[in-house]
């Protein structure tokens, strides 16, 4: 069993992912109010620190692993790309300074693929060089959440470090069959309809619980809906009704092409309601957004500001999180290396 510390913890993707492994968090660290409320609710009894740059050696229990996804805005191709010159980007180096103070044997760091090209690659080179100066051997790899069992493309860079030995870090991220040189499947560019992954009752869209026929390759933005209303025009609860997959694809000229699954009529009969399909695209519910990231249902539905959390902060926090199944895979690989099985 490993003891780990988490920085830039968000809503607790590593903590959620590694619970089945029996790993124990010694501390969490997050500065934003709503994610802190989620952490306090889901991991009561675990210290939630604020600014992780102020964590001192010996302040919390000794840790075996330090995990964190420092802010990505300065590295993203959608931003100004100031890299390490940005205060947020510089937190990547603060992560290294914290690792130097705590000296865990494992490090796991996450960021957007834009970090690889930021400042012509010099920013990422500085980060890796810092790891080497601290005595960590390392490996890095771009992992895509769609291959871990969630219906979205979400490519992220993961760096794994091990104190004194790069081979252990490489054994986590690289499997023998992944070194055979087979490229990922190519896809033609174009507009396509995302196939709705119909849920089993009470199931989550994670890992081995993905229903047969789920097309994760075309479900990047997941423009799908179960838009069923009653005959009185009242919207039916999209989470509790019998799933009615309805996918909408935008066409040129702004019109919308409506595609209805063959299960629609039967599902409406089971609901014993007159169904009216609304021609429009609804936004994902917070619960569906949680499923896209592999969290349990209602993970972010916690007490917040004298009530239950509103949708707005839930959407933001979920979107900033790591994908739980990807982090779980990394944890499982670390556990195998620790046990000498990788």
What domains does the chain contain, in order, with CATH numbers?
A: 3-183+320-338 (3.40.50.150)
pLDDT of amino acid 83: 52
- Residues in the chain predicted with pLDDT less than 70, given as ranges, are 72-89, 177-280, 342
Strand ranges (E), 52-171: 65-68, 106-111, 136-144, 155-163
| CA 96/CA 318 separation, integer angstroms | 25
Catalytic site residue from 8, 16, 72, 227 = 72
Return the residue matching tokens 């499947």.
Answer: 185
pLDDT of amino acid 208: 40
| CA 8/CA 270 separation, integer angstroms | 45
Strand ranges (E), the chain: 3-7, 24-29, 48-49, 65-68, 106-111, 136-144, 155-163, 224-225, 228-229, 246-250, 256-260, 276-277
This prediction's pTM: 0.71
**72 labelled catalytic:** yes
First-to-final CA distance of the chain: 17
Residues facing residue 29 across a β-bridge: 49
pLDDT of amino acid 80: 45
Residues facing residue 12 across a β-bridge: none
pLDDT of amino acid 307: 95
């Amino acid at each position: 069993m490993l003891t780990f510390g988490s920085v830039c913890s968000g809503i607790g993707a590593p903590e959620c992912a590694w619970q089945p492994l029996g790993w124990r968090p010694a501390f969490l660290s997050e500065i934003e109010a709503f994610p802190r409320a989620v952490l306090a609710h889901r991991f009561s009894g675990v210290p939630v620190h604020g600014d992780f740059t102020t964590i001192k050696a010996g302040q919390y229990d000794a840790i075996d692993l330090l995990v964190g996804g420092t802010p990505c805005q300065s590295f993203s191709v959608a931003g100004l790309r100031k890299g390490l010159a940005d205060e947020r980007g510089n937190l990547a180096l603060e992560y290294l300074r914290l690792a130097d103070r705590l000296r865990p044997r494992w490090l796991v760091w996450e960021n957007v693929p834009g970090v690889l090209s930021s400042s012509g690659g010099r920013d990422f080179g500085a980060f890796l060089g810092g790891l080497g100066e601290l005595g960590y051997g390392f490996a890095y790899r771009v992992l895509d959440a769609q291959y871990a069992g969630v219906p979205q493309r979400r490519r992220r860079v993961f760096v794994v470090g091990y104190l004194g030995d790069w081979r252990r870090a490489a054994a986590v991220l690289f499997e023998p069959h992944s070194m055979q040189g087979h490229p990922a499947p190519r896809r033609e560019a174009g507009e396509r309809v995302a196939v709705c992954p119909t849920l089993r009752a009470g199931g989550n869209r994670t890992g081995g619980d993905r229903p047969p026929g789920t097309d994760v390759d075309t479900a990047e933005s997941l423009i799908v809906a179960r838009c069923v209303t009653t005959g009185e025009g009242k919207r039916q609860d999209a989470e509790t009704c019998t799933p009615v997959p309805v996918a909408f694809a935008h066409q040129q000229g702004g019109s919308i092409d409506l595609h209805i699954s063959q299960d629609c009529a039967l599902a409406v009969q089971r609901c014993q309601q007159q169904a009216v399909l609304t021609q429009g695209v609804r936004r994902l519910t917070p619960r569906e957004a949680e499923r896209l990231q592999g969290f349990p249902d209602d993970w972010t539905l916690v007490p917040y500001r004298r009530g239950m959390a509103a949708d707005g902060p839930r959407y933001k926090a979920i979107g900033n999180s790591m994908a739980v199944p990807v982090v779980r895979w990394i944890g499982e690989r670390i556990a195998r290396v620790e046990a000498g099985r990788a």
